[in-house]
Structure 1
Amino acid sequence: MSERLLLTALKGGSNTKIITLNGKRMTRMPSALEKLPGLRILNLQNNLIHEVCPELRTLTKLTLLNLGNNLFEEIPEEMKYLTSLKKLHLFGNRICSIATGVCDGLQELVLLNLNDNRLKSLPQEVGRLRNLTYLSINHNQLTGIPTELCSIQSLSELHLNYNQLMGIPEEIKLLRNLQQLFLVRNNIEALPEGLCHLKKLRILDIAGNVIQIFPAGFQNLKLREFYCEGNPLFLKRPITAIRPKDVWTLREIAARFVLGQLDKKNHLIMNAIERYPETKDKLSKARRCPLCRKPFLSEWLECVRFVSPSKNWKISRNLHLIPLRILLCSYQCFDRRGPNLFGIAQE
């Protein structure tokens, strides 16, 4: 049947550029595709196809392939031969894996739609899709995303709604051209500080997660739209409690002393640190107290500061204050806090 349908569609001869055979109840791809080396667009949406035919690899000029709503369980290796492909639609299948090497051949791909499949993970090779600008993997079973995904410099729109994500990697800060990020209905508990470095981000939707607090600097994002309904955000409810004295480990005391000397440009300490790269690396992860401006390493007091969302943001109706995560170096600084800074009760 598929061959007959294709022959009917071939009235334009071997120079045919577009083939559309949507909703024909086809169970396999027609092998006669090899007679169409100049084909640019192939639409086989809403059929019953479960695997590609070997002849697909001959379509090296294909720019758009739509196999949405079929029965594929894998993105097969044959896809890597579609070296001119720019748009690939595989939504509504049963895909749970991506064959090795596929991403190496799809170097021209700008759009990938994998919505409504069964993916639990993405291979590291996805980072090789260097020209990808739009990636949508809504309604899958992803529990995480590989850091390699964050190396796709061209990515501007990322949809990861309705998955099982627990978090987003800090490396997301590398997606410098990201403009739209959708993370609706996952299990995300916290957003990484790297998110605050996305200067081009304009739309962020994190509705329906389990986020309580945002990283410091979040309020400086140049967003146009921000949605966060359905998250258990911290509310402005001050709690009076007896605060213990500051007790630091010997390691922390030593670290603070060295960090203080580095701040003072102590050349003896600076030269000594250069001879111990591991120590230098650990000290490079030090933070700075927003109140006293002194550096600290691993002992801190976690607090929340409430700020008003930007007037330039289109926001969720119930969002009045944004809770920001603030790390103070000591209880002594906590006593000097302002009226909008509160401690976080430890359960």
Structure 2
Amino acid sequence: MAERLLVRALKGGESTKIITLSGKKISKMPSTLGKLTGLKTLNLQNNQISNMCPEIIFLTQLSLLNLGNNLLKEVPEEMKYLTSLKWLHLFGNQICSFASGTCDGLQNLILLNLNNNQLTRLPEEIGRLKSLMYLSLSYNKLTIIPIELCSLTDLSELNLNYNQLVCLPEEIRFLKKLRQLFLVSNNIEVLPEGICDLKQLRILDIAGNVIQIFPQGFQDLKLTEFYCEGNPLFLKLPVIAKQPKDIWTLREITARFIISKLEVEDPFLVQAIESYPEIKDKISQAKSCAICGNPFLSEWLECVQFVPPSKTWKTSKNLDLVPLRVLLCSHQCFDQRSPDLFGIVNE
């Protein structure tokens, strides 16, 4: 049956635009496909293909390739020659790696579906897919996300459900066009502060992780849907404890003094700090106290503040309050806190 379809297509020559050979028990990609140089769509899903034929590199007008549910073990190198490709489906294979140079020619790729594979890592080269808008990697074995993925500034939807992620890179803040982020059933403990910079984010699903608290500013996201069931979120369980006096290291005292002087643009310090890039970098990591607004470097009190979710959010059931991570510079500020802010202690 597959052979008859190909013969018919070959008679059509360059006028043939679509070939569908889904579920034909094909184990070897037909080399005659390379003669269909005008092909736009090639559907080979639900077969037993383990390798791509070299002749596919001649399909330079191909815009959609579906190799879902086959036996591929890597994203083939031949992909880099398919320079017109916009939609690439590789779900349901046995892919555990990318061949070298695969991403080089895929500058027009809009959608990449790698669901249900065996990926444990993504190559740094993933950042070369500059046109990518939809990336789906659910049901793999990913433990980390490379920083380079965060350079995909056109990305609108990112699906990382059912992996083994423990964290997300802070650089996620660069995904300014991201509208949907799915992180269901991973091992994520903390969301990066950078997620609060995603002003276009509308759907966030973090169900089934181990998140207890959210970064400050999280409540200002313009979400329409937010799901977090199955996370051990902090509850309002106040503990009364005697507050110790603030004892800071000399390093912390010096850092706070320098930072305060830099904030008022002390000319001597501004000029001097330029000669010490390591100190300048360290000071750039300073935070501000949520009560007094004063800066601090490494000595602080970690607290949790409970705020109601936005009325515009469609949320998980029984989510009445969202726990936010708040940092205070001293016990003196802690004594001046509002009633909805609690200190975090280790039992």
Whole-angstrom distance in 2 between the partners of 1:75 and 1:302: 44
Identity across aligned pairs (percent)?
67
Aligned to 2:59: 59
Structure 1 residue matching 2:28: 3-state secondary structure? coil
Structure 2 residue matching 1:236: 3-state secondary structure? coil
Whole-angstrom distance in 1 between the partners of 2:276 and 2:50: 57
Q: Deviations over 1:289-323 (max 9, x none)?
A: 01111110011100000000000111111211000
Whole-angstrom distance in 1 between the partners of 2:14 and 2:253: 77
Aligned to 2:205: 205
Q: How much is the aligned-residue C-alpha RMSD, in angstroms?
A: 1.2
Q: Deviations over 1:95-153 (max 9, x none)?
A: 00101111011111000000000000000000000000000000000001100000011
Q: Deviations over 1:180-237 (max 9, x none)?
A: 0000000000000000000100100000000000000000101111000000000111
Aligned: 1:162 with 2:172: no
Report deviation, 1:252: 0.4
Aligned to 2:129: 129
- Whether the aligned pair in 2 keeps the contact of 1:166 and 1:188 (CA below 8 Å) is yes
Q: Deviations over 1:140-167 (max 9, x none)?
A: 0000110000001110000000000000
Report deviation, 1:8: 4.5
Structure 1 residue matching 2:32: 3-state secondary structure? helix
* TM-score, reference length from structure 2: 0.98
Report deviation, 1:15: 1.7
Structure 1 residue matching 2:155: 3-state secondary structure? coil
Whole-angstrom distance in 2 between the partners of 1:281 and 1:84: 43
Aligned to 2:214: 214
Whole-angstrom distance in 2 between the partners of 1:235 and 1:8: 67
Aligned length, in residue pairs: 347
Name segments (4+ residues, structure 1) moved above 6 Å: none
For 1:77, give the aligned amino acid.
Answer: E
Aligned to 2:276: 276
Whole-angstrom distance in 2 between the partners of 1:264 and 1:304: 30
Aligned to 1:264: 264
Aligned to 2:42: 42
For 2:73, give the aligned amino acid.
Answer: E
Whole-angstrom distance in 2 between the partners of 1:265 and 1:45: 63
Report deviation, 1:264: 3.2
Q: Unmatched 5+ residue regions in structure 1?
A: none
Aligned: 1:110 with 2:92: no
Whole-angstrom distance in 2 between the partners of 1:272 and 1:117: 54
Whole-angstrom distance in 2 between the partners of 1:232 and 1:171: 25
Aligned: 1:76 with 2:85: no
Structure 1 residue matching 2:93: 3-state secondary structure? coil
Aligned: 1:295 with 2:307: no
Aligned to 1:182: 182
